[in-house]
Amino acid sequence: MDVSGTGIQEPFDLIRLSLSERVFVKLRGDRELSGILHAYDGHMNLIMSDVEETIMIVDTESAMAGQGVVNVAKRKMEMLFVRGDSVILVSPPSRT
Amino acid sequence: MAFFGLPERDLPISSIGERPGNIAEYTWGEESYDGLGDALQEGRDDLNDETFGSTGPVGKDFDFSSQAPPELQNDYQQPLRTQPRNATTASLESLWHDHSAFSVLPRSNGPSRAGERHRMSPAPTQTQSHRYASPSHIGHMTGHQSQIRARTLQEIESEMLLNAQRQREQERERQEQEREELLQLEIEQQRLLRQQELLQQERMREREHELQQLMLQEQQQLQQQLQRQRLLQQQQQQQLHSQHTPPPRMMPTSQSPRFLDQQRQLLLVQQQQHQEQQRRLQLEEQLRREELERQMLAMNLERTRVDSPLYNGRRTQASIPAEVQEAHFLQQAYERQLQQQHQQHRRQSSRSPANLNPQYMATLQQDRLQSQDLLLHQRIIAELAAHGELPIDMRNVSQADQEALRAEAMRKILETEKMEEKRRRKAAKIAHMARYNDLMTQSDKDFITRIQVSQLVTQDPYADDFYAQVYGAILRSRMGLQSQDERVLKFGSGGGVGLGLASKGGSRRPSAMQRMEQQVERIVNNARKREEEKSLHALHSLQGALGKTSGRSYKAAPRQLLQVDGAAASPTLSHANPTGHISKGPGETKGGAAEEAAKLGRAALGTAADTDNLVKKEPLTHRQTLVVLEELYDLVLRIEQLRRDQPPSEDDRENDEWKAEYDHLVDRLWNEIRVMVPLETSDPHPFISLLTPSKGKKILPRLTRHLTNQRLLTLLTLLVACFHQLDVVKQALILDDVHDTVERLEVERQTAAFLGSVMQSILPVVSTANLRLVTGLLGLLLDRSNIVAVAQTRPGLALLTLFLSRVEVIKQTIATTPDVSDSPTLEESQQWRMIFDHLFQLLAPHFLTLFPSVRMAHRVSNDMPLQTDAVDQPVWQFLAALALHGVSEQHHVLVASLREKILENVFSVNKGWVQDEEERQTKLANVNLFLHAVNLDSSQIAM
């Protein structure tokens, strides 16, 4: 597809397409978010609603032979402000 | 320059060397001035004035060097006191900062030397002895000087000491001259003392009484003195304070009154201590005077040793140990007193770090000096004792008296301290906050406001304040207020400030708003003036007023990321169509075809005509949809903006231009939504694809506002024709899931958006449609969609109900006003009847499955309590609408097929299988909704 034709000039334009759509956001600290994107800015600060956060907790204490046990903690939030400096990636959710 | 050279430092010392056995005396400006000062004169100082400024005393603003920590200073001075001869190593700082020659002098131990001198002096007069014991005088002198210009306390302290020293020197040399120099206060004190002296001589036996009187007098005197001192000390304190926390441009006068109050409290405590000192000194003086008398006596008696009181003292000390013991006792008492004082000081200082200041150190030093005086005192007493005439009773009584007074004073001090502690804590807080009070003048504030406001001024106040404006409009409409015009300040040249929401009730806000408006007005006026002068825009004139900002602009608004350039975009837009789906072929008569379809009733749309040129395309991908939607949003925003900017109607040319632009934009919008794309191009149709994301659904009402009725009709036809393609219809089955899955929630969300937005936007079209059109639309729906599947969805039911109720309204209109011009013809009515019958036939076997509760019950194995009445309500509504149109046979069919459901509801209500009143009401209301349509009621049902 023609890049100029789609009006996409910078990476943020792709994020704009996902406005008010469900997005998948990967954060620092082994966290992932899935929620509806409402707003973002140049710092990648995000406003999301209906968010489910997934936190991976690697339990090295009870690990056997260096194999960490990954625990997953989940929580839901109605509305969320995500500070941009923790955002690693923003993507549309995988479609099945 | 000599200022920085070491030789400079050596100078005073060498001069001391020249005069061994004596303290360095610098007597500039006095008659006995020996000209040594001239000898000190260094060379190459001619340009000093130019370098350091010639007029006035040097300010202390940049004096960082002399603010050595007090402890350090104290340590530095202690050795000096023990070795008075070396004390002349005056610090360079004092030399540098103080033009007074005395600052070069040693800053310590006047009293110790005074003691020596006292002992050595052949015949000290009364005034002399009195003079030693007046620290208040010292304080006064210092205060006086501090009035002249601001100095550091360190300096003041040193100067204070130096002055005392100097006075002593002067005293020894010229008493007469000095007396003239005495301040009024001192003179009075002297007079009183002299009176007292006379009294003393007269009434040697009535000492106790006299002493008390004297003390009273002294106290009164001191009160006056303290009044003056207080003022001076306040100044010092302020000076001190400003040293501790010196914010820029802080003026001593700008202290808050509470701060001054606190200072006064502090001073009060200090003064009370001071009073005590005074009292002690008074006693000392008396003793000294007595001693002098004795000395006179002794001189008379022992003419051979008239000049050596020192010898005298030594001799007596050695000879009369009993008296010495007494003297020791007295000294111990003093020392205890001193200790108490110190402790007090320490307590204070532990509470407030502000007390760890040079002034405290000064008082400490004073105390030390006094303790040195005590040594002297001891000797005096010893001398007195030598003559065996020391009035013991007087001492005892006076001591007891003193004790009582001290206790009183201590109690008062403690009380005051307690109060003061509270107040201090409060005041410290306030002072901390008030440090920056009045830093800015009103004009400063105005200036800043102006800058801020100028940053708020934008070309498009409404759009920059968009959310607040829209929210405000919604709020106003919800509250039923007359919607005012936009809350925007507009200026002539297109700029303006968005005012946000209307503030309601706030007491501060309105005035702030008014002030801002005034500011804005001023800015605008200024800008206009400047515009006239420079023909510059208001914004430009203020730009860079605070210096250049680098990088991004100040505006807090999110950066516009998709820059759709208006001029450039128009030619590229058709090209920018990412799908390229639009085939603008000769077969572009889709709308006409739809119309045709409406005319033909349930006849199929004339798509066959189009199929010739039809280019089958892949449906829009999700991403393409999103891209198109973004463009749509941009367009809609621009169109909305354009509508707000509609020029006043009088200017025709401008209006035409505006109209042209508006139409152009609306045309683009129309193309973008792809309604005119042939029906069979793809499945789903591009337009339906655009409705898939929730933002696509939500934009429709904003978009349809700008479309003509004809276009809206086409849009509606397309929507109906492709109704089965809608995501909300396709995925409606998920809603029947009893579990709250993510998918179900998503579909729920989409459905709500569809009902709220899409149905809302087609509602005005349908509600004005004539019977023929409704018949056509229903026929189209029946023809193209699986009507049973559609009817099992909420959007489908809503659409069907909409059609049926519209026809019902038409029927009623005919019944009431039969002369309406566009009343349906008989043919149209027959067509409607036919279509309706067809619909009924198709749905009849599935009436029960229309209920979500029934469908859900199939999925649920056990009878879990489901709150389905609310979900069922639209179905009951639809069935009621169906019944309204139906004939009696159809009613029978309806009731027969719904009998089970109706009975279930009625039974559960009657037998109390409901959880609460609300559920009962809902169930009954649902059933009655339908039963009323067939002229029945739930109460008629026999149990």
CB-nearest to B627 from A4, A7, A21 is: A7
Q: Please list every residue in chain A whose beta carbon sits closer than 8 Å to the beta carbon of residue B561.
A: 10, 12-13, 16
Between CA B801 and CA B808 the distance in angstroms is 10
Nearest Cα to A26, choosing from A47, A54, A49? A54
Q: Residue B443 corresponds to which tokens in the numbers above?
A: 């004009």
Between CA B478 and CA B473 the distance in angstroms is 8
CA of A62 to nearest chain B CA: how many angstroms apart?
33
Between CA B469 and CA B474 the distance in angstroms is 9
Residue labelled with tokens 């829209």: B470
So what's the pLDDT on residue B629? Answer: 92
So what's the pLDDT on residue B633? Answer: 92
Q: Residue B89 corresponds to which tokens in the numbers above?
A: 């190593």
Cβ-defined contacts of B579-584 (< 8 Å, 24+)? B579/B617, B579/B620, B579/B624, B579/B628, B579/B686, B581/B617, B581/B620, B581/B674, B581/B677, B581/B681, B581/B682, B581/B686, B582/B671, B582/B674, B582/B676, B582/B677, B583/B613, B583/B615, B583/B677, B583/B678, B583/B681
Q: Which amino acid is at B243?
A: Q
CA of A27 to nearest chain B CA: how many angstroms apart?
21
Low-confidence spans in chain B with pLDDT less than 50: 1-21, 68-91, 94-95, 98-147, 242-254, 304-320, 348-356, 360, 389-390, 503, 505-506, 536-538, 566-611
CB interface of B with A, residues 621-680, below 8 Å: 622-623, 626-627, 629-631
Between CA B284 and CA B395 the distance in angstroms is 11
Residue labelled with tokens 């708020």: B456
Name the residue of chain B whose CA is nearest to A10's CA. Answer: B561
CA dihedral over B818, B823, B825, B828, signed as positive or negative: negative
Q: Please judge whether A16 and B561 are an interchain contact, meaning their C-beta atoms are less than 8 angstroms apart.
A: yes
So what's the pLDDT on residue A23? Answer: 93
Q: Would you say B693 and B629 are in contact if contact means Cβ atoms under 8 Å apart? A: yes
Q: Residue B269 corresponds to which tokens in the numbers above?
A: 């405590």
Q: Can you tell me whether residue A62 is helix, strand or coil?
A: strand
Q: With bands split at pLDDT 50, 70 and 90, how would you rate the model's confidence at A48?
A: very high
Between CA B936 and CA B525 the distance in angstroms is 75
Q: Would you say B688 and B725 are in contact if contact means Cβ atoms under 8 Å apart? A: yes
Outline where B57-125 has alpha helix (H): 70-82, 92-97, 110-120
Length of chain B: 943
Q: Would you say B700 and B761 are in contact if contact means Cβ atoms under 8 Å apart? A: yes
Dihedral (C-alpha) B890, B891, B893, B899: value to the nearest 10 degrees? 160
CA of B580 to nearest chain A CA: how many angstroms apart?
10
Q: Which amino acid is at B45?
A: D
So what's the pLDDT on residue A27? Answer: 95
Q: Would you say B556 and B602 are in contact if contact means Cβ atoms under 8 Å apart? A: no
> Which residues of A sit within 8 Å Cβ distance of B?
1-2, 4-10, 12-13, 16-22, 39-42, 50, 92, 95
CB-nearest to B578 from A1, A18, A41 is: A1
So what's the pLDDT on residue B197? Answer: 73
Q: Is the pLDDT of residue A1 over 50?
A: no
Q: Please judge whether B623 and A5 are an interchain contact, meaning their C-beta atoms are less than 8 angstroms apart.
A: no
Residue labelled with tokens 């409406």: B598
Q: Tell me: the pLDDT tens digits for B270-311? A: 777 777 777 778 777 778 777 777 777 766 665 544 444 444
Q: Would you say B587 and B764 are in contact if contact means Cβ atoms under 8 Å apart? A: no
Buried b (16+ CB within 10 A) or exposed e, B122-132: eebebbbbbbb
Q: Please judge whether A20 and B698 are an interchain contact, meaning their C-beta atoms are less than 8 angstroms apart.
A: yes
Nearest Cα to B780, choosing from B861, B738, B724? B724
CA of A58 to nearest chain B CA: how many angstroms apart?
26
Name the residue of chain B whose CA is nearest to A51's CA. Answer: B742
B693 and chain A in contact, CB less than 8 A: yes
Cβ-defined contacts of B7-11 (< 8 Å, 24+)? B8/B42, B8/B92, B8/B95, B9/B89, B9/B92, B11/B40
Q: Would you say A26 and A88 are in contact if contact means Cβ atoms under 8 Å apart? A: yes
Between CA B466 and CA B486 the distance in angstroms is 10
Between CA B466 and CA B500 the distance in angstroms is 9
So what's the pLDDT on residue A41? Answer: 92
Q: Which amino acid is at B311?
A: Y
Nearest Cα to B155, choosing from B373, B367, B371, B361? B361
Average pLDDT, chain A: 85
Q: Please judge whether A41 and B559 are an interchain contact, meaning their C-beta atoms are less than 8 angstroms apart.
A: yes
Question: Residue B230: CB partners within 8 Å, gap ≥ 6?
Answer: B264, B267, B271
So what's the pLDDT on residue A84? Answer: 94
pTM: 0.49
Q: What are phi and psi of B30, to 5 degrees?
A: -100, 175
Name the residue of chain B whose CA is nearest to A9's CA. Answer: B562
Nearest Cα to B855, choosing from B751, B734, B743? B734
What mean pLDDT is predicted for residues A2-21? Answer: 75
Tell me the β-bridge partners of B796.
none
Q: Tell me: the pLDDT tens digits for B325-335? A: 555 666 666 66
Between CA B806 and CA B798 the distance in angstroms is 12
Name the residue of chain A whose CA is nearest to B630's CA. Answer: A17
Q: With bands split at pLDDT 50, 70 and 90, how would you rate the model's confidence at A54?
A: very high
Integer CA distances (angstroms), B302 to B296, B390, B871, in order: 10, 19, 128
Q: Residue B676 corresponds to which tokens in the numbers above?
A: 């005119």
So what's the pLDDT on residue B380? Answer: 60
Q: Can you tell me whether residue A37 is helix, strand or coil?
A: strand
So what's the pLDDT on residue A96? Answer: 52
